[in-house]
Amino acid sequence: MTPHIINVTGLRKLYRSSMGRPPIKALDGISFDIEAGQVFGLLGPNGAGKTTTVKILLGLTRATAGTATIHSMPVSDPESRRRVGYLPEGHKIPGYLTARQTLSIFGRMSGMEKSAIDRRTGELLERVRISQWIDVRVKKFSKGMTQRLGLACALIHSPDVLLLDEPTDGVDPVGRREIRDLLHEEARNGTTVLINSHLLSEIELTCDQVAVLRNGRVAAAGTIDELTRKSAKYKMIASPVDEELIASFLESGAGVDRVNGHLELSVSDPAHLNALIDKLRARGGMLTELSPLRSTLEDVFVDLIRAADVEQPQ
């Protein structure tokens, strides 16, 4: 069984309000596990609890209730963070430092020897594609280059857990792909990666598992495939498709929509779908395509957030 590197169970966080108002629930009992070598995405709108979760994992704030562990050690134990690399959102690096100096500082703060820092510096700047800027002051870096340097800082001490907040923010499309490739390579080598991001397309391309937070709770969790699969909906391209055929589909209890020259079918189960195909063939029809329909992760996300809006008291 693959070990859980990060475990969050029943995590709650209340923030006191002023003037006698009830406390604010930043987290309301969330739970999830992240395995070794997994790339996990934490999604949610502003105020959903993503940043609070990361702060708890880093020991920057304490949970009101519940538990969180890294490598089976409670996050209150500084040892749990010794092998953790962190890239905060909108991180700032003093402009007078060079890339080499920046990585040297981060390496020394992680307890590394100078020889190891020097070796890792060249290797990492090559991997994030800014090696030619090694002795250039950071104030001359673009936002994307600064983001690449920040990722190198998170990796300097060869961590086996990465907590990344918007890792591709400000990076161009080619750079985003290079960072995805780097994170997948880290995961293949056993590194556990948690990504906190609003860029849903990047999460969809990068992550193995995701959890969507809504109002401090986990509204949905699973693999990208599990979350984006539309239950029992199929695209059918066939000919001829006339009104009589559609009427026979509807009589069977199927949902039928014409969309851009094809049919979208809603069925109860695979047997129901096969019965529709039999009806088509019995009328001399030819089936040329039949494929399950999927949502994008953005569709799933928006539907969950809209559902939350509907649930809010008026």
- Give residue limits of the domains in the chain: 1-83+160-174+189-215, 90-158, 227-294
Band of the pLDDT at 313, cuts 50, 70, 90? very low
Helices and strands in the chain: count of H runs, count of E runs: 10, 14
Residue percentage of the chain with pLDDT more than 70:
96
Over the chain, what is the mean pLDDT? 90
Tell me how far apart the alpha carbons of residues 199 and 113 are, in angstroms, rounded to a whole number: 37
pTM of this structure: 0.81
Between 313 and 87, the more confident residue is 87
Tell me how far apart the alpha carbons of residues 299 and 53 are, in angstroms, rounded to a whole number: 24
Domain 1-83+160-174+189-215: what homologous superfamily?
P-loop containing nucleotide triphosphate hydrolases (3.40.50.300)
Token pair belonging to 121:
């510096």
Tens-digit pLDDT profile for residues 256-287: 999 888 999 988 888 999 999 999 999 999 99
CA distances from 94 to 137, 138, 140, 152 (A): 9, 7, 11, 16
Topology of the domain covering 227-294: Alpha-Beta Plaits (3.30.70)
